[in-house]
Amino acid sequence: MIGLTPDERKVVIFMLASLALGSAAMLYKRAHPSFAPGLRDAIRELPRPAADTTAGALESAVPAEGTARPAREAKPLFTGKIDLNTANVRSLERLPNIGPAMAKRIVEYRNTVGKFTAVEQLGRVKGIGPKRLSQLRDHVVVEP
Q: Is residue 102 part of a domain?
A: yes
Q: Is residue 37 part of a domain?
A: yes
Q: Is residue 112 part of a domain?
A: yes
Q: Is residue 136 part of a domain?
A: yes
Distance CA 141, CA 144 (A): 10
Q: Is the domain of 16 the same as that of 54?
A: yes
Q: Is residue 68 part of a domain?
A: no
- Phi-psi region for residue 23, left (φ > 0), alpha (ψ -120 to 50) or beta? alpha
Q: Is residue 110 part of a domain?
A: yes
- Domain tally for the chain? 2
The DSSP result for 5-22, as a single string, is: -HHHHHHHHHHHHHHHHH
Q: Is the domain of 95 the same as that of 131?
A: yes
DSSP 94: T
Q: Is the domain of 88 the same as that of 137?
A: yes
Q: Is residue 124 part of a domain?
A: yes
| Host domain of residue 108 | 82-141
Q: Is the domain of 56 the same as that of 87?
A: no
pLDDT at 53: 47
pLDDT confidence bin for 135, thresholds 50/70/90: confident
Distance CA 133, CA 127 (A): 10
- Domain of 136: which CATH number? 1.10.150.320
pLDDT confidence bin for 55, thresholds 50/70/90: very low
Q: Is the domain of 46 the same as that of 86?
A: no
pLDDT confidence bin for 15, thresholds 50/70/90: very high
Q: Is the domain of 86 the same as that of 132?
A: yes
Q: Average the pLDDT over 45-55 and give the result.
A: 53
> Could you give the dihedral angle defined by the CA atoms of residues 113, 115, 118 and 123, in that order, rounded to the nearest 10 degrees?
40
What digits encode the pLDDT tens for the residues 60-112? 445 555 555 555 555 555 567 888 888 889 988 888 888 899 999 999 999 99
Query: Strand ranges (DSSP E) for the chain?
Result: 82-83, 140-141
Distance CA 50, CA 29 (A): 32
Which position has the higher pLDDT, 21 or 53? 21
Q: Is residue 17 part of a domain?
A: yes
Distance CA 109, CA 27 (A): 66
